Amino acid sequence: MLNYKVAEISDKKIWEDFSLRSSPNTFLQSWAWGEFNESLGRKIWRLGVFKDGKLAAINLVICQPTRLGRYLYCPHGPIFDWKDQKIFDLLVENMKEIADNEGCIFLKIEPLLADSVQNRQIFQKRGFKAAAAFFQAENVWLLPLEASEEELLRQMRKTTRYLIRHEPDQGIKIEVSGEKKDAEKFVGLLTVTAARKAFVGGIHDKDYYLKQFDCLAGENHEKIFIAKKGQETLSMAMIIFYGEMGYYLHAASNPKNKDSVGYSLQWEAIKEAKRRGCKYYNFWGVVRDEHFQPNHPWYGFSLFKKGFGGFGRTYIRAQDYPLNWKYFLYRLAERGRKINRRLRYGYWED
């Protein structure tokens, strides 16, 4: 009979070795992401499941605050072979114990699993409920990177390819930075961009982005890409590189610039991901196919991302496990926020 054991992992090398050789893997389960959350004052647990003494799963768990009470959150995890359901059951039981000790009102697990009936049933039969709203992006756009640079260019939309090649002719140059001063400039530009474009859900405070940059850039996982014309900054992006993926995570643009820019910036980020040995470049969220219409608030940036080639992938909705009656108040509040966003922005979430 196989022996299973859940234990906290305190050795960074053990954690990262397992994370980086797993597929899929994700920066949201990285050691650095745990450090980032600790820097925000959140409690974290790095759980491992050992199967006959060998590490078989990792599960970064974060205690998140809400107005109604705290909850335990597992972003894009746990990471393990989902064919072994005993591992999942052990992790859920362990999370329940932690939640009880911390006075949490529910668990939220957001795995990197395809949205399918079979995968939903894994959670349904254990008493989980699909979350009222998504947390991380559910519908993402991925660009495979195994092709040569010329082949990648040929697979792009004609307009995208043209702008990548001709933005440099307009004097646009791309700089790459690992400096905090540029992260601070990015946050300033992001604040202006968010106010101008009325970002759905708003943005985090300044410390969130700067502490994220400190933790991830310190491990060479994050860089700032900057599109400039002369001394003027036109656009900036925070790009994360981890394991098999590069991630287009946050972006901001100069309100003075009226032209479309950002194509050559993305191309430089894609090439950097390819140089690092990433299998995919993850453009993050796009609008669902059924809502991909010009009147949708996400249509413009979704069209921009799809123009680079690639394919869409839909992950299962985050799954909640209620532990307290307050969870149902939380869920009601989430539904209210969702309705408000739809009325205010004409924004479809489902």
Q: What confidence tens digit (pLDDT) does each residue in 4-38 have?
A: 999 999 999 999 999 999 999 999 999 999 999 99
Tell me, what's the pLDDT at 345?
54
Q: Which residue has the tokens 């990262």?
A: 16
d(CA 10, CA 163) in angstroms, rounded, equals: 47
Q: Which residue has the tokens 């196919």?
A: 289
Side-chain-side CA neighbours of 12 within 13 Å: the count stands at 6
Q: What confidence tens digit (pLDDT) does each residue in 105-134 have?
A: 999 999 999 999 999 999 999 999 999 887
Q: What confidence tens digit (pLDDT) does each residue in 247-283 have?
A: 999 999 887 776 556 899 999 999 999 999 999 999 9
- Sorting pLDDT into bands at 50, 70 and 90, what band is 297? confident
More confident residue, 26 or 298: 26
Q: Do domains 4-136+315-345 and 139-313 have the same CATH topology?
A: yes
Statement: residue 341 has pLDDT above 80: no
**pLDDT > 90: what percent of the chain?**
81
Tell me, what's the pLDDT at 259?
59
* Exposure b/e, 100-119, CB count within 10 A at least 16 = b: eeeebbbbbbbbbbeeeeeb
Tell me, what's the pLDDT at 135?
81
Statement: residue 348 has pLDDT above 60: no
d(CA 260, CA 94) in angstroms, rounded, equals: 49
Q: What is the pTM assigned to this prediction? A: 0.93
Q: What confidence tens digit (pLDDT) does each residue in 316-331 have?
A: 999 999 999 999 999 9
Task: Write the DSSP symbol of residue 109.
Answer: E
Tell me, what's the pLDDT at 255?
79
Task: Write the DSSP symbol of residue 315.
Answer: B
Mean pLDDT of the 60-76 span:
96
Beta strands at 44-51 and 4-8: parallel, antiparallel or unpaired: antiparallel
Q: What confidence tens digit (pLDDT) does each residue in 164-195 have?
A: 999 999 999 999 999 999 999 999 999 887 76
Domain 139-313 has CATH 3.40.630.30: yes
Query: Is residue 286 within 8 Å of residue 305, measured between CB atoms?
Result: yes
**Peptide bond connecting 24 to the previous residue in cis, omega within 30 degrees of 0:** yes
Beta strands at 71-75 and 106-110: parallel, antiparallel or unpaired: parallel
- Tell me the domain boundaries of the chain: 4-136+315-345, 139-313
User: What topology does CATH give the domain 4-136+315-345?
Assistant: Aminopeptidase (3.40.630)
d(CA 300, CA 297) in angstroms, rounded, equals: 7
d(CA 234, CA 255) in angstroms, rounded, equals: 8
Tell me, what's the pLDDT at 150?
97
